[in-house]
Amino acid sequence: MTTNTRPVAQRIRVRPRNKANLIIQATLIGLLLLTLYHLATFDSRGISPIEGIAKTLESFRTLFFEPRLKNVSLGEMLYALSITVAMGLLTTIFGALIAFFLALGAARNLAPRWLNNLITGGTAFIRAVPTVLWVLFFAVAAGLGSVAAVVGMTFHSVGYLIKAYAESFEELDAGVLEALRASGASWWQTIFQAVVPTSASALLSWTFVRFEINFSTAIAMGAVAGAGGIGFDMFMASTFYLDLRELGAFTYAVLIFAIALEWFATRLKGGLGARV
């Protein structure tokens, strides 16, 4: 005997109209109307949108298909790139070392709650302030240059990596920690025999992600804070020399290094995962 089973029709629940939903809808409609109004009254200064798009595409064609060094040599460009890489690397190393020990106190399964709240609150404030503001803040004492850039980026890297490392530590199985504590292992033995080996892959991934961020930030700081490196050369090529071809050469140098860094990080993470 067979029985025919039909899916039971379920009624679609419509979100009721309340004050919060009406405010959100009114805000979105208001923003849409303001956008349409400004697009209609935008002062294009006699330049047609089609002409502007055509010139933009022409600039991109020159930038990416006609790269050429004119005001600097290949050796000078590589030296400037190495300065930017060094700033990003130093910032990441300093930030990772400081963040590792502070993250042990920020992890809820490894430290008391009062210490968790203290470190978490401090790092939330650090992350809320943009990196460029930290760099400019330290530039008051150290002056504009690579020192202020490294210190400011390190400050922000610590706040970023503490949160990432602490979340990786909290993913450890609670049973493993209880077993080690029951066997008489000390707190540091628990850290280096269970926490670090289990979280090594995640820590490496977060560190390389931060290195990529610091590398791109170091490029911007080269122009904003006078930190030097390839960022300063890109700034000079785009605003002083007005040479899109040279800017394209710098852009390709940055892209090649970023791709090589991603490849190296993937290989290193794969090798570490195989060992673990």
Complete domains list, the chain, with CATH: 70-275 (1.10.3720.10)
Nearest-angstrom CA–CA distance, 195 and 142 = 38
pLDDT of residue 95: 92
Task: Sort 129 into a burial class: Cβ within 10 Å, 0-12 / 13-18 / 19+.
Answer: middle
Residue-wise pLDDT for 172-228, tens only, equals 877 777 887 788 778 888 888 888 888 888 888 899 889 989 998 888 888 777 777
Nearest-angstrom CA–CA distance, 175 and 184 = 14
Cα angle at 25 between 12 and 35, to 5 degrees? 135
Cα 29 off chain centre by: 32
pTM of the model: 0.76
Nearest-angstrom CA–CA distance, 251 and 81 = 11
Give the count of beta carbons closer than 10 Å to the beta carbon of residue 226.
Answer: 17
pLDDT of residue 31: 93
Identify whether the C-beta of residue 64 lies closer than 8 Å to the C-beta of residue 250.
Answer: no
Give the count of beta carbons closer than 10 Å to the beta carbon of residue 190.
Answer: 19
pLDDT of residue 62: 87
Residues lower than pLDDT 70 in the chain:
1-17, 271-276
pLDDT of residue 11: 61
